[in-house]
């Protein structure tokens, strides 16, 4: 479409025409991100709880998650294909792996930030170690853990767009459709719609996290 | 890969902070080991499969692979250098701007940028400016700009106000304060942003192959389109190793360039 | 309805208790033995790093002893489940350690909840305790720790430790982080509380004056938690065991002793001996206050008033000095324990 003016009327017609498909892809995009982040949350928060007070374990977990995040997403998705094939499964696995680092790191940071005096008081009052973790330490670390989930979600929304190339679900499908139609009338419409929808999904999920954080954080922990 | 800008900036700056004293930290040692093991494993795997078929032979040969590695590296490194040239001065100027509107505008753009998918930027750029290496570099620069810009601003504005005040009290000019106080103190944070941008460029350069900019993404796509898992896996492992290597080198540079005492 | 029943203290025995963190370094606590009577207020005093806090924290097993025996109310502490043990021992530390995500009421309810108290009983107890530490229940109960001043937070810390009415309290420099005026106020309030509660208290401090003010007996400790002297405040002041203890007492031992003796214990002059100055002193004031008034009155004797503010006599510099001498003579170390 290079060199040509852009007609707003045409994009409205395009959007109206495709509204159902756009909604469906947007829904898929959100669902795949949520599933992946939830899986990563279980693994990441769990790992964080296990290693937060063990320097070696902590270093190892963060190093592994760091290496995963360094791997280019195209490479990660490609590596999944021989064993997991195409579609939802490799997408969810890849997104979960990428989401790990922010979640595990924030869990560790959050748990470590809880003042030793508070932990000592909790133990001295007769709380069992499990009770100290779940009634005191995690609630106090909660805002930091949620921030990890929030960052992970933003990350996953973007990477999910690339996953469309391996037949993953979501709005990335439109972006790649735009590419495959290079030169055709609707190419830019597809790519633009896909990109903007992904941005909107990211912003909406971010707002959702701000809301969740407000609702679930004790008033005593807010600034 | 949306907001690696923010994420990795935080991640990397957190990770690298304490590793100054010991030279042989686990990470310094493990990353090269991991790369050697991955590449060695790949070579053994390919050798064990025996003679590649005709299609595989197209990609699985040294000249072809080395050319892709070279393209990929040039793409990523040149984009990162351009980013450094643009974003560090811009960050310095912005960190000294007291105009709330300018700062708000930049932060707003930065937040939007974080939510923008890399693949969307690259493909939109290609549709608007045409395909090829210049477009890929432009998209990469736009994309990797954020971490460096952000870290430069953060690095300078986080400096304790009393330090600047005492520098001014000693009679330093604004330029002297910048050169002798602010920049040295901001170096670790700026370098962390630079490292993020580099890793990030290697990753996005993989996608650049969609718009005919070459690189190792091409190997992956060839493998994918022609259903040759060996080719696909080779491309993926090699590009991952490049990313790890770049990250490792940048980490070394970071430790080396960090002023003593910071 | 405020009920003021309270469980009074039980005896604690530490037998050859030691703690070492690694075999090459000297032990943090080396063979510590002590007998604490029910309802006694014991102060552990010593320089930082002498092992006093470690000693205290072994009583509720926040720190596990390397060897030795600790017995509370006839029960071997090391044979109990640490969590259950701790629910019956109040614990207050300098950093307070209130839970930031819980309201004041929730903080105080922690141990009652662990013990499975009913909601009503817990709520009543919270109200009672807030009144006890002079934090008006209505407005404070629903606030969060960060909304309170340091002194208020420490009152909550004390209330929380008292929640399940434990017979034993362990306190680690609980008033150390507050400003001098607040500290004095908290000390006096706590002393008043203890008069009615009769808890067995082990209190760690590096402030000798605080130890004098609060303790029934003071253990002066040196490195490795070695007991250099263990005696009443008056005896330590009048008969310091050695140079180390003297250096702890610091300047003005006589003045510090005066603070421990009531005016009532001195031999008074007839009321007519008092000068016409407006200064006077009450029988329940201590001799340090009396000396203060005498100095203000120009060195002349001042009137002594009883609770009903009637003049019962007069006191001057000689009577104060005599009382100090008598006290020192009467409380020789052999008789004290």
Q: What is the ipTM of this complex?
A: 0.85
Strand C217-222 and strand C41-45: the pairing is parallel
C145-177 residue pLDDT tens:
999 998 899 999 999 999 999 999 999 999 988
SS3 C319: helix
Chains B and C touch (3+ CB pairs under 8 A): no
B77-127 residue pLDDT tens:
999 999 999 999 998 888 888 777 887 788 777 767 777 888 898 898 888
For residue C64, what is the DSSP state? Answer: -
Per-residue confidence (pLDDT) for residue C308, from 0 to 100: 87
Closest-CA distance, A146 to chain C, in angstroms, reads: 15
B257: Cα separation from own chain's centroid: 17
Q: What is the tally of structural domains in chain A?
A: 1
Assess contact for A201 and A172: CB atoms under 8 A: no
Per-residue confidence (pLDDT) for residue A215, from 0 to 100: 93
- Is the confidence at residue C322, as pLDDT, over 90? no
CB under 8 Å to C93, separation ≥6 — which residues? A117, A120, A121, A124, C157, C171, C172, C173, C174
Closest-CA distance, A177 to chain B, in angstroms, reads: 10
If one compares C59 and C325, the residue with the highest pLDDT of the two is: C59
Name the most confidently modeled range: A81-85, B26-30, C127-131.
C127-131
B192: Cα separation from own chain's centroid: 10
The partner residue sitting opposite A220, judged by closest CB among C91, C110, C144, is C144
- Is the confidence at residue B14, as pLDDT, over 70? no
Residue-range definition of the domain harbouring residue A197: 20-221
Q: How far apart are CA B143 and CA A186, in angstroms?
A: 25
Assess contact for C29 and C225: CB atoms under 8 A: yes
If one compares A168 and C68, the residue with the highest pLDDT of the two is: C68
CB under 8 Å to C229, separation ≥6 — which residues? C218, C219, C220, C236, C240, C241, C242, C245
C279: Cα separation from own chain's centroid: 31
| CA atoms in the 13 A half-sphere facing the CB of A208 | 13
The tokens describing B133, both together, are 């290496």
Closest-CA distance, A102 to chain B, in angstroms, reads: 7
What residues does CATH 3.40.50.300 cover in chain C? 12-252
SS3 C25: coil
SS3 B27: helix
If one compares C334 and A81, the residue with the highest pLDDT of the two is: A81
What band does B173 get if pLDDT is binned at 50, 70 and 90? confident
Per-residue confidence (pLDDT) for residue B225, from 0 to 100: 87
- Is the confidence at residue C334, as pLDDT, over 60? no
- Is the confidence at residue C293, as pLDDT, over 80? yes
Out of A12-16, C27-31, C53-57, C131-135, least confident range: A12-16
A positions 105-134 inside 8 Å of B (CB):
105, 109
Helices then strands, each counted (H, E), chain B: 12, 0
Among B137, B142, B40, B39, smallest CA distance to B90 is for B142
What band does C85 get if pLDDT is binned at 50, 70 and 90? very high
Residues of chain A with pLDDT under 70: 1-8
B57: Cα separation from own chain's centroid: 31
Indicate whether A3 belongs to any domain: no
A positions 154-193 inside 8 Å of B (CB):
154-155, 157-159, 161-162, 165-166, 172, 175-176, 178-179, 182, 187-188, 191-192
Nearest CA in chain C to A126: C83
Per-residue confidence (pLDDT) for residue C297, from 0 to 100: 86
Torsion-angle region of residue B73: left (phi > 0), alpha (psi -120 to 50) or beta? alpha
C100 and A218 within 8 Å at the Cβ level: the answer is yes
C257-330 topology per CATH: CBS domain Like (3.90.1280)
CB under 8 Å to A197, separation ≥6 — which residues? A22, A25, A26, A29, A171, A174
Among C126, B49, B2, smallest CA distance to A201 is for B2
Which residues lie across from C43 on neighbouring strands?
C203, C218
DSSP string over B106-170: HHHHHHHHHHS-HHHHHHHHHHHH-SSHHHHHHHHHHHHHHHHHHHHHHHHHTS-HHHHHHHHHT
Per-residue confidence (pLDDT) for residue B27, from 0 to 100: 65
SS3 C252: coil
Per domain, the residue ranges of chain B are 30-257
Residue C91: list chain A partners with CB under 8 A. 121, 124-125
CB under 8 Å to C163, separation ≥6 — which residues? C108, C109, C110, C111, C112, C125, C126, C129
A220 and C160 within 8 Å at the Cβ level: the answer is no
Q: How far apart are CA A59 and CA A105, in angstroms?
A: 10
A164-188 residue pLDDT tens:
888 889 999 999 998 888 878 888 8
Q: How far apart are CA C239 and CA B162, in angstroms?
A: 53
What is the pLDDT averaged over residues B68-76? 93
C88-109 residue pLDDT tens:
999 999 999 999 999 999 999 9
Average pLDDT, whole number, for chain C? 88
Q: How far apart are CA A187 and CA B124, in angstroms?
A: 9
CB under 8 Å to C133, separation ≥6 — which residues? C155, C156, C158, C159, C189, C193
Chains A and C touch (3+ CB pairs under 8 A): yes
How much is the CA Rg of chain C, to the nearest whole Å?
22
C100 and A140 within 8 Å at the Cβ level: the answer is yes
SS3 C173: coil
Q: How far apart are CA A72 and CA B237, in angstroms?
A: 10
- Is the confidence at residue B48, as pLDDT, over 90? no
Position of tokens 């509660």? C197
Assess contact for C305 and C327: CB atoms under 8 A: no
Per-residue confidence (pLDDT) for residue C55, from 0 to 100: 96
B30-257 topology per CATH: MetI-like fold (1.10.3720)
Indicate whether A5 belongs to any domain: no
Position of tokens 């008056």? C234
The tokens describing B35, both together, are 């790369």
A70 and B240 within 8 Å at the Cβ level: the answer is yes
Per-residue confidence (pLDDT) for residue B75, from 0 to 100: 92
A198 and B220 within 8 Å at the Cβ level: the answer is no
A126 and C111 within 8 Å at the Cβ level: the answer is yes
C200-247 residue pLDDT tens:
999 999 999 899 999 999 999 999 999 999 999 989 988 889 989 988
Q: How far apart are CA A145 and CA A138, in angstroms?
A: 9
C12-252 topology per CATH: Rossmann fold (3.40.50)
Residue B8: list chain A partners with CB under 8 A. 69
Assess contact for A61 and A47: CB atoms under 8 A: yes
B115-161 residue pLDDT tens:
788 889 889 888 888 888 899 999 999 888 888 888 888 888 888 88
Residue B41: list chain A partners with CB under 8 A. none
Indicate whether A11 belongs to any domain: no
Indicate whether A97 belongs to any domain: yes
Per-residue confidence (pLDDT) for residue A6, from 0 to 100: 60
C229: Cα separation from own chain's centroid: 18
């Amino acid at each position: 479409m290079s060199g040509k003016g852009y007609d707003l009327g045409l994009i409205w017609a395009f959007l109206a025409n495709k509204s159902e498909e756009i909604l469906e892809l947007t829904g898929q995009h959100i669902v795949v991100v949520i599933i992946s982040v939830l899986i990563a949350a279980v693994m990441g928060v769990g790992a964080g709880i296990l290693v937060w007070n063990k320097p070696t374990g902590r270093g190892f977990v963060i190093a592994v998650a760091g290496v995963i995040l360094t791997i280019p997403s195209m490479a990660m998705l490609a590596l999944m294909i021989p064993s997991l094939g195409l579609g939802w499964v490799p997408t969810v696995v890849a997104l979960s792996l990428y989401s790990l680092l922010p979640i595990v790191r924030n869990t560790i940071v959050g748990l470590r930030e809880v003042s030793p005096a508070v932990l000592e008081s909790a133990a001295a009052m007769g709380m069992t170690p499990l009770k100290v973790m779940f009634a005191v330490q995690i609630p106090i670390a909660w805002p930091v853990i949620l921030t990890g989930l929030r960052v992970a979600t933003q990350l996953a929304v973007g990477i999910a767009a690339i996953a469309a190339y391996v037949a993953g679900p979501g709005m990335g499908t439109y972006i790649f459709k735009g590419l495959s139609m290079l030169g055709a009338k609707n190419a830019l419409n597809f790519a633009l719609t896909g990109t903007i929808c992904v941005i909107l999904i990211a912003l909406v999920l971010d707002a959702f996290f701000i809301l969740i954080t407000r609702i679930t954080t004790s008033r005593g922990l807010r600034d | 890969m949306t907001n690696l800008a923010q994420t990795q900036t935080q991640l990397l700056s957190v990770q690298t902070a304490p590793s100054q004293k010991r030279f042989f930290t686990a990470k310094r040692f493990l990353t090269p080991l991991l790369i050697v093991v991955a590449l060695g494993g790949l070579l053994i795997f390919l050798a064990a499969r025996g003679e590649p078929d005709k299609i595989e032979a197209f990609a699985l040969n040294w000249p072809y692979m080395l050319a892709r590695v070279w393209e990929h590296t040039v793409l990523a490194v040149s984009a990162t250098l351009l980013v450094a040239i643009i974003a560090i001065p811009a960050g310095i100027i912005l960190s000294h701007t007291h105009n709330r509107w300018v700062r708000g505008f930049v932060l707003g753009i930065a937040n939007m940028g974080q939510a923008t998918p890399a693949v969307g930027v690259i493909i939109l750029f290609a549709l608007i400016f045409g395909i090829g290496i210049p477009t890929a570099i432009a998209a990469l620069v736009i994309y990797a700009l954020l971490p460096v810009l952000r870290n430069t601003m953060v690095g300078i504005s986080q400096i304790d106000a009393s330090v600047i005040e005492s520098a001014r009290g000693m009679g330093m000019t604004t330029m002297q304060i910048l050169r002798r106080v602010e920049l040295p103190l901001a170096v670790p944070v700026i370098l962390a942003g630079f490292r993020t941008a580099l890793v990030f460029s290697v990753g996005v350069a993989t996608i650049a192959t969609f718009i005919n900019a070459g690189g190792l993404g091409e190997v992956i796509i060839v493998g994918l389109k022609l259903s040759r898992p060996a080719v696909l896996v080779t491309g993926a492992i090699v590009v991952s190793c490049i990313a790890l290597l770049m990250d490792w080198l940048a980490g070394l540079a970071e430790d080396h360039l960090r002023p003593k005492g910071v | 309805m405020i009920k003021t029943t309270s469980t009074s203290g039980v005896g604690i025995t530490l037998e050859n208790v030691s703690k070492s963190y690694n075999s090459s370094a000297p032990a943090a606590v080396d063979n510590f033995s002590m007998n604490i009577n029910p309802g006694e207020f014991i102060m552990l005093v010593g320089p930082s790093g002498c092992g006093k806090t470690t000693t205290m924290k072994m009583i509720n097993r926040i720190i596990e002893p390397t060897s030795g025996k600790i017995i509370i109310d006839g029960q071997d502490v090391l044979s109990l489940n640490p969590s259950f043990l701790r629910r019956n021992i109040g614990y207050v530390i300098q950093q307070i350690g209130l839970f930031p995500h819980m309201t004041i009421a929730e903080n105080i309810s922690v141990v009652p909840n662990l013990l499975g108290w009913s909601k009503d009983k817990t709520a009543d107890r919270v109200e009672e305790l807030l009144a006890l530490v002079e934090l008006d229940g209505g407005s404070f109960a629903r606030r969060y720790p960060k909304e309170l001043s340091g002194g208020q937070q420490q009152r909550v810390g004390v209330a929380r430790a008292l929640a399940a009415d434990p017979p034993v309290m362990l306190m680690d420099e609980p008033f150390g982080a507050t400003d001098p005026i607040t500290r004095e106020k908290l000390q006096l309030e706590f002393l008043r509380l203890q008069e009615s509660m009769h808890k067995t208290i082990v209190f760690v401090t590096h402030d000798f004056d605080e130890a004098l003010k609060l303790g029934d007996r003071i253990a002066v400790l040196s490195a490795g938690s070695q007991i250099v002297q263990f005696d009443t405040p008056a005896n330590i002041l009048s008969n310091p065991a050695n140079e180390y203890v003297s250096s702890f007492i610091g300047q003005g031992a006589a003045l510090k002793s005066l603070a421990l003796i009531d005016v009532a214990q001195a031999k008074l002059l007839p009321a007519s001996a008092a000068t016409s100055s407006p200064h006077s002193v009450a029988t329940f004031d201590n001799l340090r206050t009396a000396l203060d008034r005498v100095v203000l009155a120009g060195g002349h004797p001042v009137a002594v008033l009883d609770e009903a503010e009637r003049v019962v006599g007069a006191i001057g510099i000689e009577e104060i000095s005599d009382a100090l001498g008598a006290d020192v003579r009467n409380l020789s170390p052999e008789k004290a324990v």
